[in-house]
Amino acid sequence: MIYKSFGIFSIPPKISYWSDYFSGKAEEFAISLNDAVFFICMSELNVLKEQYSVCDKCSELTSHRSQVVFGSRHMKECPIMIIGEAPGKKEDEIGEPFVGKSGEILNQLLDEIGLNRGDVFITNTILCRPPENRNPKQDELKNCRNRLDKTVEMINPKVIITLGNFSTQYILDTKEGITKLRGKIYSKNGRKVLPMPHPAVLLYNGMSESILNGFREDFKVLKGVLEEKTMGDY
Ligand code: SF4
């Protein structure tokens, strides 16, 4: 699907790929073509980032933000994509999602199942910090939706984690709360979605061991999904 979306078949492979192919190195040719697809997709992601770095569709957000927080700094396909609500104060200052204490908790939970931030692409339902950290408005979500859908397609994750009530209800189009939804896999537009509470709840609750264990259970579910061997797996 992703090959088709970015017009790979209309882009001529490098001459060396063709010479490799005709000299009988079909396997090397396939690897080179995969590399080419990877670079094309990632350059498309960079183009999308550039386009949105000057976006002014939401007037209130545009006048309050320091910068547009597109997502993780690394621009590559990842098995996991995390969608939070919106950039906060620190994210707005630094230009990266999930920095600070909540980010440290996330790093720890990933580490416990043998993963790190390089395995995850993080973004939000909207890219600009709302004033006073209010929830995103319907028109803002709508303005930023095309960008979110394109980002999902380009990152091509095996599983999407929705963090917190707002993101989960928005992505799954439900009114159910995160407490009921967490720990289970849902399907949305052909992709697996795993809702989790926002790690900030641990900070609000003094790093409670029972809440931390709840997150550990969620991350076990994530690990199980990543280890499933199905067609198209990483
Ligand atoms: S939230 Fe999205 S659509 Fe709205 S101004 Fe920021 S980048 Fe543009």
Model pLDDT for residues 196-216, shown as the tens digit of each residue: 999 999 999 999 999 999 999
**Helices 138-155 and 26-52 meet at what angle, rounded to 10?**
160
Cα 179 to ligand 1 centroid, rounded to whole Å: 29
Does residue 215 have its Cβ closer than 6 Å to ligand 1? no
For the chain, the C-alpha Rg in angstroms (whole number) is 19
Q: Indicate which atom in ligand 1 lies nearest the CA of residue 55.
A: 8
- The mean predicted confidence, pLDDT, of the chain is 85
Quick check: 98 and 82 in contact, CB under 8 A?
Answer: yes
144-159 tens-digit pLDDT: 999 999 999 999 999 9
pLDDT tens per residue, range 13-61: 343 444 444 455 555 555 565 665 555 566 889 999 999 999 999 999 9
This model's pTM is above 0.85: no
Is the pLDDT score of 219 beyond 70? yes
Task: Determine whether the shortest distance from the Cβ of 69 to ligand 1 is under 6 A.
Answer: no
Tens digit of each residue's pLDDT (9 = 90 or more) over 94-132: 999 999 899 999 999 999 999 999 999 999 999 999 999
* Residue 86 Cα: closest atom of ligand 1: 1
Nearest to 113 by CA among 226, 3, 228, 229: 226
Per-residue pLDDT at 23: 52
Give residues with Cβ within 8 angstroms of 195, minimum separation 6.
161, 162, 168, 172, 178, 181, 182, 184, 186
Instruction: Return the pLDDT at 7.
Output: 30
Q: What is the CATH number of domain 69-227?
A: 3.40.470.10
More confident residue, 21 or 174: 174
Distance 55 CA to ligand 1 centre (A): 6
Cα–Cα distance for residue pair 215/114, rounded to 1 Å? 15
* Tokens 């989960």, residue located: 168
- Nearest alpha carbon to residue 216 among 202, 231, 234: 202
